Amino acid sequence: MARLSTRISIRWGDEPASEPTTTLVMGVGGYFMDLRVTNSDNTVDWAFAGRKETVFVSPLHCRWHHIIDSRNVFEPDEGSFEALPNGDSLETGSMPCLERGGAVTPYEEVWRTLSEGKDMGWILRRDDESTKTITFLGRVGSEYFAMVQAEGGGPLSVQREALVTEDGQDGKQAWVTKYRHGEEPLPSLAAHGLLAFPGETAWTAGSVVDVLGSHFTVCAVEEAKTA
């Protein structure tokens, strides 16, 4: 199912839990896109996208393979999940901590699902041979991400857009840019005044589709649940 999640807090080792970022994660099928923006200065804390592997189902244990990564760290990371009484999920594991000089440190993250199965979702990928770049696009409901990075690493450009209802427009909706980082051009719904990319409701996993004149492969797509 297509899922949009936000992080509520992170705790490193025995430190108090806190949330220094605004973090949104899209998950569609076996693929994900993850954007973490630092609250204090609005810079990218971490942005990455790739493939999710379920290692164990019970208890749930997942591994994330980073195909593009703003930190240029391409080793997989993994964590285990358990449900909390309020419906949130607790993820535990160990990973490098920047605040500790990159030392691998135990962590706890609390996640909250914002949308699961209620909205259409898809994730696309383009490998451009001429520019040697990899681009990921993703949408779950009213959130849209675009990320691009050179093959093998380097600076990553990212854009987040949200579908909002315009004031005084009798319920008219439009995509607006919520966040932008980097210099590389990225496909944008907001810039073209689109509510959706042409044909996206007919996309199927594995197919090659046209997005604003460029060819992308559909990594995963999910339809919205109906009552």
CATH code: domain of residue 37: 2.40.128.320
Task: Measure CA 34 to chain center.
Answer: 3
- Domain range for 154: 121-222
In the numeric block, which tokens belong to residue 194?
């689109």
**Total domain count, the chain:** 2
d(C-alpha 143, C-alpha 154), whole Å: 25
Strand pairing class (3-12; 21-28) = antiparallel
Same domain membership, residue 138 and residue 79: no
Final residue in a domain of this structure, among 115, 138, 158 = 115
Same domain membership, residue 109 and residue 69: yes
* pLDDT by position in tens, the chain (length 227): 899 999 999 999 999 999 999 999 999 999 999 999 999 999 999 999 999 999 999 899 999 999 999 999 999 999 999 999 999 999 999 998 988 888 999 999 999 999 887 889 999 999 999 999 999 999 999 999 999 999 999 999 999 999 999 876 677 899 999 999 999 999 999 999 999 999 999 999 999 999 999 999 999 999 876 54
Same domain membership, residue 127 and residue 82: no
Same domain membership, residue 160 and residue 90: no
In the numeric block, which tokens belong to residue 100?
């500790």
Residue 115 has a pLDDT of 87
Same domain membership, residue 84 and residue 14: yes
Task: Measure CA 29 to chain center.
Answer: 13
Final residue in a domain of this structure, among 115, 134, 165 = 115
Strands (E), the chain: 3-12, 21-28, 31-38, 44-56, 61-69, 77-83, 89-97, 103-116, 121-128, 133-140, 143-150, 156-165, 173-181, 208-211, 214-222
Does 99 reside within a domain? yes
**Residue bearing tokens 């297509």:** 2
Final residue in a domain of this structure, among 91, 115, 139 = 115
Does 146 reside within a domain? yes
CATH assignment of the domain containing 183: 2.40.128
Dihedral sign, CA of 58, 121, 46, 84?
negative
Nearest to 175 by CA among 156, 195, 157: 195
Q: 46 with 158: CB under 8 angstroms?
A: no
Residue 227 has a pLDDT of 47
d(C-alpha 131, C-alpha 148), whole Å: 11
Does 227 reside within a domain? no
Same domain membership, residue 133 and residue 86: no
Taking the C-alpha atoms of 134, 140, 141 and 144 in order, what is their torsion angle to the nearest 10 degrees?
Answer: -30
Does 71 reside within a domain? yes
Does 145 reside within a domain? yes
Same domain membership, residue 139 and residue 111: no
Tell me: cis bond preceding 59? Omega within 30 of 0 counts.
Answer: yes
Q: Residue 74 is inside which H or E element, if any?
A: none
Same domain membership, residue 101 and residue 31: yes
